[in-house]
Amino acid sequence: MKRIGTFLLAGLAGFGLAGAAQAQNVTVYTAGPANLIDSLASGFKDETGITVDVFQATTGKVMARLEAEAGNPVADILISASWDTATDFAAQGKLLDYNSANAANVPDFLKGPGYVAQGISALAIAWNPNSGTPRPADWSDLTDEAYRDLVTMPDPSQSGSAYELVAALTTQNDLGWTLFDALAANDMIVPGANAQALNPVLQGAKGVVFGAVDYISLGQAAKGETIEVIFPASGTVIAPRPMMILKSSKNQDAAKKFIDYVLSDKGQAMVAATYLMPARSDVAADRALISDLKILSVDPASDRAATLARFNKIFGIE
């Protein structure tokens, strides 16, 4: 569901002041989480006096809006849930090549020409301890009889991070496909996007999510839900969330200040408060960080269409 929010400058009096304030607006298009962009926009306005206009929606809806507005661009900054968006836009020359001084402690693999990570999520096993199943330690555990018909997984054709996990597990060798064959034989279901996979486990109808988005599950646990996030011993994938200033931006100075703010101590603390990993390696968070995880890589030459077709065939997805 999309949400449009505007954080307005207070105390404007008269047309002249309103006109001056207009020059201090910045428009951010972002793919959630909603409470994070609300906090960042409010904190940025308090610190700089610059209004942040927000369009928040799913990645697909954000990209569709950008395409629809291509003839008359509105967005100054894009925050995506897909790293590929940043690399694709950079290759097409759509990004302003800005390197924030606050990105000094962002690892090199989390930034590039014109883009930098806001924060990072990882995929994990989300297990309901009340499910009557043993606590799993690795992906392959979920092929055991104890988990028959109790495992869900986000659909990789609807979840970019789930696709990354499938690609990482299968493009190196055929061991990953053997795993998915075994999971299908054990009646794992693929009901839809991330929420459709997690909700049955929260409700107790299923026991485990294979490939849950960690910060969502960690947030549910913090609210008192019976869910535990487990990072598999054999490794997992991370999903950096890139920020970028569009070259078409009419408010580039304000946009640069917003990127600086997100990468500041205050901004990164807000990122950590949503259970995302901060992009900066020197910022602490109450969760596992990249250094605590075994990270699997995705072959950049992997064939997305072929990978999805084989996955869909295994699980009978039309």
Q: How far apart are the first and last CA of the chain?
A: 25
- pLDDT for 286 beyond 60: yes
Domain segments of the chain: what residues?
3-119+239-289, 121-237+293-315
CATH number for the domain whose boundaries are 3-119+239-289: 3.40.190.10
Predicted confidence at residue 172, as pLDDT, reads 62
According to CATH, the superfamily of the domain at 121-237+293-315 is Periplasmic binding protein-like II (3.40.190.10)
pLDDT of 1 above 60: no
Percent of the chain with pLDDT over 70: 92
Q: What is the pTM of this model?
A: 0.85
pLDDT score, position 195: 92
Q: What is the pLDDT of residue 59?
A: 81
pLDDT tens readout for residues 171-213 = 766 679 999 999 999 999 999 989 999 999 999 999 999 999 9
Q: How many residues comprise the chain?
A: 318
Q: What is the pLDDT of residues 48-85, one digit of tens each?
A: 999 999 999 888 889 999 999 999 999 999 999 889 89
Q: Report the pLDDT value the prediction gives residue 92, as an integer from 0 to 100.
A: 97
Q: Do domains 3-119+239-289 and 121-237+293-315 have the same CATH topology?
A: yes
Res 111: pLDDT:
97
Tell me which of 22 and 291 has the higher pLDDT.
291
Q: Could you tell me the pLDDT band of residue 11, with boundaries at 50, 70 and 90?
A: very low
CB 150 within 8 A of CB 111: no
